[in-house]
Amino acid sequence: MAYQVLARKWRPSNFTQLVGQEHVSQSLIHALQHDRLHHAYLFTGTRGVGKTTVARILAKAINCENLKDFNPCGECSVCKDFEQGRFMDLIEVDAASRTKVEDTRDLLDNAQYAPNQGRYKVYLIDEVHMLSGHSFNALLKTLEEPPPHVKFLLATTDPHKIPVTVLSRCLQFNLKRLLPEQIDTQMQFILGQERIDFEPPALKILARAADGSLRDALSLLDQAIVYGSGSVNLASVTGMLGTVAQQPIDEMLQALAAGDVKALLAKIADVAELTPDFADILQQMLRVLHRVALTQQLPEFIDHEFDKQLILSLAKTLSPEDVQLFYQIGLIGQRDLDLAPDPRSGFEMVLLRMLTFRPQAAEPQAAQSTKPATAKAANSEPKPTATPASIASADTRPATTAEPPNNTSTWPEIIAALNIGGRTRELANNCILDGIDDNTCRLLIDPSFQRVGTIAEEKLREALQKYYGRPLKLLITAQATEQMTPAVEMQKAREDRQQSAVDSINTDNNVQALKDTFGARIMPGSIEPLN
C-alpha cells in the first residue's frame, strides 16, 4: 500500500478530533443539535489551520444517517462514500483554478435539482476570494435565496477580498492559529500512535517552526522522520532546519548582559561557521528575554523549557529597563534584518545597538533661584518633553563620583551623590531621611507615592551601602510629615520659577509698550523660564 503522508493520514474526520478550534466545533455541534443550520458558512484563517477540514466534516455531518453525539458516525454509507471521495452531493471546487464567470454559472445550474444521495447538496468552494467580480455577482443571487436542499461552505485565507454583499449573507467563523504547545501535543500523540521514537526538544523546535499551522508542522515532521532515519531527534531537526543549539544563544546573552563586546563578537563568529538562520537566532533570543522579563516581575514563574539557572542569572544581572530595551531593539532589528547587506552584519549591528543604547535616567533638578525669563511667540513650537521611557543614544556622560560620606549632608545631597536613576531615584526623591545608624537607614515615604515592586528599593539599598561603605538595612515607612520631600521641593521650585517668569513678563516695560501701542496680548501657556 502506498505511503500516506501524516497530514493526510491524521486529518480529523469529526469535530472531536479538531485541534485548537473548539470555538468553531462547539458552535457547529450546537447548530446540529438544535437543527439551526445556516445556508452559507464562511471559514477564514491562515494556511493549515483546518478550514477545508471543518467544511468537509460539516458537510458529512449534515448528511450523516446516524450522528453520534452530533458527530459523523463514520460507519453509514454516506460517511463511507465521503471518506472514499464518492459522495455525489458534495461539489468541491478550488476557486483559484475556476475564476471565470462561466465556471460559476455552470456550477450553479444544477443547484435547483434535488440531491442524489444525502439530505443536502453541498457546494464547498475553497479559496473563494480568488473568484472574479462577475463570478461573485453570479453566485450572489443563489447565495441570497438558495433552494432549501443546498448548503454553501466557503473557505478563504483572505476574507478582505470578498465583497461585503457576499460576507453579509454568510455565517463567518475565524479559525485561530495554533499555539506551539497545541502543535507539540498533537505531534507527540501522532508519533506515539505511529510508534516512532522522538526527543521532546526536537518537537518543540518543529512546533515553533510551523508558525501556527498544524499541516505545516506535520509536513516538517514527515521530513524530520526521513532525515533522522526513522526517528525524530534534536540533532537531526536542528541540522534540517538550520537552527542553532540553545547553548551558543545562552552564551551570547550572557556576554550581552556582561557588556563583553569581544566575547559577543567571538561567539557570533563561531556560530556563523554553521551558516545559521540569523533571524531564527534573534527570535530565540527574544523568547529568552521575554522569560527573563516575566521572572523579574514574577520570581516564582517557572518554565521548564528554559534553563532555570540562566534565566535567574540574567534576571539578576540585567535591569528590567535593559531587558525591555533589548527586547524592543531585537524586535525592530528582526524586521530590518532583510535590509542589511548580509544577515550576519545585520545581526551584529542589532546586538551592538543593544550595548550602545541605554534607558535615559531622570536628571536631578535642583531648587535654584529663578533666572530671567522670556515670552515665546504664539506660533513657536513647544519644547519636546522627555519621558522616562525615552531612549537616549550612547550615554557618554561621565559617571557621578560619590563624595565621601558626610554626617551633615542633606538628603537631596546624598541622592545626588548616589548615582541612581529611573524608578530608584523617583523613590528616593519621594522620601525624607528619618535617621541613620551603623546598621539601618530609616526613610519616611510620602503616603501618596505608589510603590511598585521591590526592585527600586533593593537598588536604593545597594547604592546607600556603596555610599556609606558598610552593610545597611533599608527601612521605608509610609508617614506624612511637615518636612518636604525632594520631589515636593523640586515641584515647588519649578512652580516658583514659572510664576517669577510670568511676573517678569507682565512687568516688563517693552511688553507693556507693545500692549499699549498695538493691542498685543500674551498667549496663555507661552511663558517659560529660561534654563
Distance CA 53, CA 126 (A): 11
Q: State the DSSP H helix or E strand holding residue 150, giving kind and residue range, or none if neither.
A: strand 150-156
What's the whole-number mean pLDDT along residues 416-429?
A: 87
Distance CA 8, CA 3 (A): 10
475 three-state secondary structure: strand
pLDDT tens digits, 285-321:
998 899 899 988 888 776 666 777 888 888 888 888 9
482 three-state secondary structure: coil
Report the pLDDT value the prediction gives residue 271, as an integer from 0 to 100: 84
In sequence order, what DSSP letters do the residues of 326-345 get, joined into one string?
HHHHHHHHHHHGGGSSSHHH
256 three-state secondary structure: helix
pLDDT tens digits, 220-247:
999 999 988 889 988 888 878 766 666 7
Q: Which residue, 48, 35, 42, is CA-closest to 169?
A: 42
Q: Which residues, in sequence order, are bridge partners of residue 172?
A: 42
Report the pLDDT value the prediction gives residue 244, as an integer from 0 to 100: 60
Q: Are 444 and 450 in contact (CB under 8 A)?
A: no
Calculate the CA 309 to chain-centre distance: 25
CA dihedral 448, 453, 456, 458 (to 10 degrees): 120
User: Which strands, in side-by-side order, build the sheet including 431-436?
Assistant: 431-436, 440-445, 473-478
527-529 vs 373-375, strand pairing mode: antiparallel
- Least confident span in 89-103, 294-308, 351-365, 390-404: 390-404
Q: How confident is the model at residue 274 (pLDDT cuts 50, 70, 90)?
A: confident
Q: Which residue has the higher pLDDT, 259 or 364?
A: 259
Q: Are 354 and 252 in contact (CB under 8 A)?
A: no
Own/partner contacts of 336-344, CB < 8 Å, gap of 24 or more, are 337/278, 337/279, 337/282, 343/277, 343/278, 343/279, 344/268, 344/272, 344/278
pTM of the model: 0.57
Report the pLDDT value the prediction gives residue 530, as an integer from 0 to 100: 72
Tell me the H-state helices in 195-277. 200-209, 214-227, 234-241, 246-258, 261-272
pLDDT of 64 strictly over 60: yes
Report the pLDDT value the prediction gives residue 408, as an integer from 0 to 100: 67
Report the pLDDT value the prediction gives residue 215, as an integer from 0 to 100: 92
- Least confident span in 86-90, 98-102, 476-480: 98-102
Q: Which residue, 130, 132, 156, is CA-closest to 54?
A: 156
Cell numbers found for residue 244: 542553532
Q: Which residue has the higher pLDDT, 214 or 309?
A: 214
Q: How many helices (H) and strands (E) does the chain have?
A: 22, 12
Distance CA 460, CA 418 (A): 8
pLDDT of 163 strictly over 80: yes
Q: Which residues, in sequence order, are bridge partners of residue 497?
A: none
Cell numbers found for residue 343: 544577515
Report the pLDDT value the prediction gives residue 12, as an integer from 0 to 100: 92
Distance CA 177, CA 46 (A): 7
Q: Which residue has the higher pLDDT, 34 or 98?
A: 34
Report the pLDDT value the prediction gives residue 304, as an integer from 0 to 100: 64
Cell numbers found for residue 231: 526517528
Q: Are 107 and 137 in contact (CB under 8 A)?
A: no
Q: What separation, in Å, do the N-terminal and C-terminal C-alpha atoms of the chain show?
A: 85
473-478 vs 527-529, strand pairing mode: unpaired
Q: Which residues, in sequence order, are bridge partners of residue 391?
A: 359
Distance CA 125, CA 42 (A): 10
Q: How many CB atoms lie within 10 A of CB 396?
A: 6
Above pLDDT 70, what percent of the chain? 88
Report the pLDDT value the prediction gives residue 62, as an integer from 0 to 100: 92
433 three-state secondary structure: strand
What's the whole-number mean pLDDT along residues 332-336?
A: 89
For the chain, which domains are there? 6-174 (3.40.50.300), 180-241 (1.10.8.60), 246-359 (1.20.272.10), 405-531 (3.30.300.150)
Distance CA 212, CA 183 (A): 8
What's the whole-number mean pLDDT along residues 171-176?
A: 92
* Buried residues in 207-219 as b, exposed as e (16+ CB within 10 A): bbbbebbbbbbbb
Cell numbers found for residue 330: 531585537
Q: How many CB atoms lie within 10 A of CB 460?
A: 23
Q: Are 32 and 62 in contact (CB under 8 A)?
A: yes
- Alpha carbon distances (Å) from 230 to 6, 72, 241, 369, 417: 14, 34, 17, 81, 66
What average pLDDT is seen over the chain?
Answer: 83
What's the whole-number mean pLDDT along residues 197-226?
A: 90
Return phi, psi of residue 293, to 5°. Answer: -60, -40
pLDDT tens digits, 469-496:
888 888 888 888 888 888 888 888 888 8
391-392 vs 527-529, strand pairing mode: unpaired
- Alpha carbon distances (Å) from 226 to 216, 236, 241: 16, 10, 13
Q: Are 75 and 185 in contact (CB under 8 A)?
A: no
